[in-house]
């Protein structure tokens, strides 16, 4: 009876070609199925000399190499031993100073920026990028923007009123490869692209010139204004034939702001030259918006309007204009001289 059982067991192994250790029902796809909740599989461990003494290693033969400080799971590929996995104490790379630049307006392009750091000086491979949106500046209801996985991202109307963050997962070329994703600070909210223009100015009046100013108008109420007004610049130009250069420059963050429900007005109290001709140029984050002049035209020789021919507004102030007069933009976009009343900081009167 005992011999019969032994022959039956061996015959069963040969027929089924399956062995289960820790299980009586080995998986049908496995010739050996090991099941355990208390231990693991321990394959032969040896140094390089012992490994190399293996006679005629079979293709697919596997060992765990422990040779000095080197440790690797290796397999013989038919011609040589190949590393499958080598544990390391190498630290993962880091993304630091994660930030992005650009104007938070619809259709504007943002550019991510960061520094790659690795304690072992492993070089950077292709790090992964992701842009995110949220409801506020602390990231409430944040979610990734589908397809926004490049260093640059162009805002769409889907991001209007939302806040933006740029994320980086640093990846090293060698050593410990994948770092932890780091997000920039949230910035926003995204607004529709504002329309800016030179709206009004005053440069000459009866007696000593006073109340001189330049006014810029930007579309949208106070909540829709650009987040960085320092990217809007006004330059006053001397149109003298021997000059054609800027003599005064200021950014809108230093202007006085007043707003109504449709526009905001930015005024700059500044001494303007009296023309024949002189000019005013306005630039926004995209470049020059317009270059106007009074008392004639000229081509700017430097600054934000360099190389551009001015557009004469077609009207001029004089020493008979009152101290409250101005030249203001009309609804149609033309210019009108009002010798007696300006609308500084308010909607224009015509």
User: Can you tell me the distance from the alpha carbon of 202 to that of 335, in angstroms, rounded to the nearest whole number?
Assistant: 12
Phi and psi angles of residue 144, each rounded to the nearest 5 degrees, phi first: -70, 145
- Per-residue model confidence as pLDDT tens digits over 74-116: 999 999 999 888 876 678 899 999 999 988 888 889 999 999 9
Distance of CA 87 to the CA centre of its chain: 35
Which of 120, 102, 119 has the alpha carbon at shortest distance from 111?
102
DSSP code at position 254: G
For 311-316, the CB contacts below 8 A with 24+ separation are 312/277, 316/275
How confident is the model at residue 174, as a pLDDT?
A: 82
Q: Contact, 100 vs 166, CB < 8 A?
A: yes
Cβ proximity of 268 and 255 under 8 Å: yes
Residues in the chain: 350
Q: Is 3 exposed, middle or buried (0-12, 13-18, 19+ CB in 10 A)?
A: exposed
Instruction: State the CB neighbour count (10 A cutoff) for residue 330.
Output: 11
Q: What is the mean pLDDT, run by run of 10 residues, along the chain of 350 residues?
A: 45 61 89 90 93 94 85 92 81 94 88 95 95 97 97 95 97 87 94 90 96 96 87 96 96 97 96 94 94 97 97 96 96 92 90
pLDDT score for 87: 74
pLDDT at 318: 94
Using CB atoms within 10 Å of the CB of residue 350, give its burial: 0 to 12 exposed, 13 to 18 middle, 19+ buried: exposed
Cα→Cα distances 101→109, 195, 234, 241, 261, Å: 9, 21, 22, 39, 29
CB atoms within 10 A of CB 282: 22
Which residue in the block uniquely carries the two structure tokens 């394959």?
A: 43
**pLDDT at residue 17, rounded to an integer:** 63
**Residue 137 pLDDT:** 95
Q: pLDDT per residue over 178-206, tens digit each?
A: 999 999 999 988 888 789 999 999 999 99
Q: Cα–Cα–Cα angle for 348, 281, 203, nearest 5°?
A: 60
Sign of CA dihedral 130, 136, 138, 142: negative
Which tokens in the block code for residue 186? Answer: 């949230």
Sheet architecture: strand order including 81-85: 45-46, 62-67, 70-76, 81-85
Q: Which two tokens stand for residue 268?
A: 């700059």
**pLDDT on residue 224:** 81
pLDDT for position 89: 65
Residue 246: both structure tokens together: 């800027």
Do 271 and 212 form a contact (C-beta atoms < 8 A)?
A: yes
């Amino acid at each position: 009876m005992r011999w019969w059982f032994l022959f039956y067991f061996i015959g069963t192994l040969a027929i089924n070609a399956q062995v289960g250790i820790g299980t009586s029902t080995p998986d049908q796809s496995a010739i050996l199925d090991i099941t355990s909740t208390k231990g693991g599989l321990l394959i032969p461990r040896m140094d390089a000399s012992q490994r190399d003494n293996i006679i005629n290693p079979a293709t697919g033969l596997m060992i765990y190499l422990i040779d000095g400080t080197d440790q690797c799971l290796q397999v013989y590929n038919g011609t040589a031993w190949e590393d499958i996995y080598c544990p390391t104490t190498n630290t993962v790379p880091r993304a630091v100073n994660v930030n992005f630049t650009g104007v938070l307006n619809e259709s504007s392009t943002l550019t991510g920026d960061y520094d790659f750091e690795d304690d072992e000086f492993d070089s950077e491979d292709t790090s992964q990028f992701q842009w995110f949106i949220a409801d506020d500046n602390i990231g409430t209801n944040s979610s990734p923007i589908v397809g926004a996985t490049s260093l640059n991202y162009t805002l769409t109307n889907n991001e209007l009123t939302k806040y933006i963050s740029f994320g980086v997962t640093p990846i090293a070329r060698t050593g410990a490869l994948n770092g932890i994703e780091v997000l920039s600070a949230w910035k926003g909210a995204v607004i529709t692209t504002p329309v800016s223009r030179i709206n009004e100015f005053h440069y000459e009046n009866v007696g000593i010139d006073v109340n001189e100013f330049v006014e810029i108008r930007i579309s949208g109420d106070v909540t829709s204004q650009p987040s960085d007004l320092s990217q809007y610049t006004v330059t006053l130009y001397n149109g003298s034939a021997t000059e054609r250069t800027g003599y005064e420059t200021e950014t809108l963050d230093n202007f006085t702001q007043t707003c109504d429900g449709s526009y905001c007005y930015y005024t700059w109290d500044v001494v303007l030259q009296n023309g024949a001709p002189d000019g005013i140029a306005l630039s926004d984050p995209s470049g020059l918006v317009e270059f106007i002049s009074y008392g004639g035209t000229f081509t700017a020789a430097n600054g934000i309007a360099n190389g551009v021919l001015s557009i004469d507004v077609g009207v001029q102030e004089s020493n008979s204009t009152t101290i409250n007069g101005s030249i203001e933009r009309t609804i149609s976009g033309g210019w009108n001289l009002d010798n007696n009343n300006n609308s500084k900081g308010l909607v224009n009167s015509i």
